[in-house]
Structure 1
Amino acid sequence: MFPIRDSINHHGPALVTRLLIAMNVAVFFWQVSLGPQGFQWVVYQYGFIPKAFFADPGGQFWHIFTSMFMHGGFEHILGNMWFLWVFGPAVEARLGTGRYLTVYVLAGIGAALTQAFFLPHSTVPMIGASGAISGVLGAYFVLFPRAWVLTLLWPLPPIFFWLPAALLIGYWVLIQVLYGLLGLPGVAWWAHVGGFAVGYLLTLVLRPRRPYKDEPFWYREYGF
């Protein structure tokens, strides 16, 4: 199932979300410009490797931040940036710039550390913004449980239908946990779970306490 858009009519300018997407895309095209060997080199040079982190936490901690802006291919970055575009603007408008960035960055850190905890001896570089974006999903789950998401059901022929955001995101989390328990290779499943948990918990603390109706800048009625 692939999200197309949510049911909130207006999110505001989403400047931070746009900036994050632009930064990720710029870094990815820089990776591609290096050629296949250069691409592989920067993945190992700037990716987050759990075994290396536990051998030298202080020296390797910055790799968490560099890994958050790198991707392994076009499908990888397109999927991540699309999820950020669908769910990020509403969270950004609701939390504001500072709190939104706090959730994003800390969720990315939490995601990397969670993956390292479950696979401490892994020498495979972890790259991608999916851990941080999982935190955005956690925030969306807290802030907009009654929103709906237009969803594309694969495979072909395509079928479009509306799902409650809480149901769609809940299903997504369940899949991450299940695949993590099964140990399926190729994706940092536990990073997704850890990022979601950090985003969820942080948003419970950081979300504005005022009623929605007192925030006309971002709030609009849900509608299709």
Structure 2
Amino acid sequence: MFLPLHDTNPLRHVRFPYVTYGLMAVTIICFLFQSVLPPAAFDQATIDFGMIPIVVRNLYPQPVPWLPDWATLVTYAFLHADWLHLLSNMLFLWIFGDNIEDAMGHVRFLAFYLICAICAALAHMAFNLDANGPLIGASGAVAGVMGAYILLFPHARVFVLARIIIPIPLPVPAFWMLGFWVATQLFYVVIGSTESVAWWAHLGGFVTGIILAAGLKRREVVFWGGR
């Protein structure tokens, strides 16, 4: 129903969001490696480095012997199923990540992103304990960034491409745009959607982002900002 285009929230503490763009670059490079693999090898890579609940729970042996079971709680976030999956996640990270990096600092933001990825995977696993399919994608970690954004910059304007009659760009407060997004995730959880979307990973990452942002932000960054 809508597609975010950019926000109007300038950086105040860092000159350049190295970590945000670095995470985007690593994720894109990982997908480029995936994309040149034959279909069978592509699928095997998602099994080897995706987060499979029964593997993390040590109910089934790790496909890659040298990789610790817990490592896939991080590696899964750098794999994607297709270009649309990748580009949608990178768009959200590009729009919202720089301001959260600005609010936290480079090192704390990197730790924040990885912890959000881990907690998103754990949330998915908690509601899919016996799942044998791999979880892949940065959406859980990016949801954490969105959770931090709604806490720290809810009044910032986000231009979204909204489809009413024809697609038109509209400026809306981040609170409403991100609030609508999380309400959509909750809706699909409540109705028990059977789509191959990790709704619980999204919600787990989002809540983790809110909690962590409260403790990791700079002292001078206020809550409910972005005016």
TM-score, normalised with respect to structure 1? 0.90
Candidates 94, 104, 112, aligned match of 2:113: 104
2:38 counterpart of 1:3: no
2:69 counterpart of 1:54: no
Identity across matched positions, percent: 36
Q: Where does residue 186 of structure 2 map in the other structure?
A: 177
Equivalent position SS for 1:68: helix
Equivalent position SS for 1:55: coil
Q: Where does residue 33 of structure 1 map in the other structure?
A: 36
Which runs of 5 or more structure 1 residues have no equivalent in the other structure?
Answer: 213-220
User: Matched residues in 1 for 2:130 and 2:150: separation?
Assistant: 32
**Structure 1 residues 169 and 150: CA distance shift in structure 2, 3 A:** same
Candidates 17, 20, 24, aligned match of 1:21: 24
User: Matched residues in 1 for 2:165 and 2:83: separation?
Assistant: 21
Equivalent position SS for 1:149: strand
| Structure with the higher fraction of residues in helix conformation | 1
Contact 2:154 / 2:174 at 8 angstroms: preserved in 1? yes
- The letter for the 2-side match of 1:75 is L
User: Matched residues in 2 for 1:110 and 1:211: separation?
Assistant: 24
- The letter for the 2-side match of 1:39 is F
**Structure 1 residues 211 and 126: CA distance shift in structure 2, 3 A:** closer
- The letter for the 2-side match of 1:193 is L
- The letter for the 2-side match of 1:127 is I
Candidates 118, 130, 135, aligned match of 2:139: 130
User: Matched residues in 2 for 1:20 and 1:9: separation?
Assistant: 20
Q: Where does residue 65 of structure 2 map in the other structure?
A: none
Deviations 1:130-187 (A, max 9, x none): 1111111111111111101001113772121111101111111111111122232211
Which runs of 5 or more structure 2 residues have no equivalent in the other structure?
Answer: 63-67
Q: Where does residue 208 of structure 1 map in the other structure?
A: 218
TM-score, normalised with respect to structure 2? 0.88
Alpha-carbon shift at residue 39 of structure 1 (Å):
0.6
Deviations 1:175-209 (A, max 9, x none): 11111222322110100000011110011111122
User: Matched residues in 1 for 2:221 and 2:183: separation?
Assistant: 30
Alpha-carbon shift at residue 64 of structure 1 (Å):
1.2
**Structure 1 residues 211 and 190: CA distance shift in structure 2, 3 A:** closer
CA RMSD of aligned residues (A): 1.9
Contact 2:89 / 2:142 at 8 angstroms: preserved in 1? yes
Equivalent position SS for 1:109: helix
Q: Where does residue 102 of structure 2 map in the other structure?
A: 93
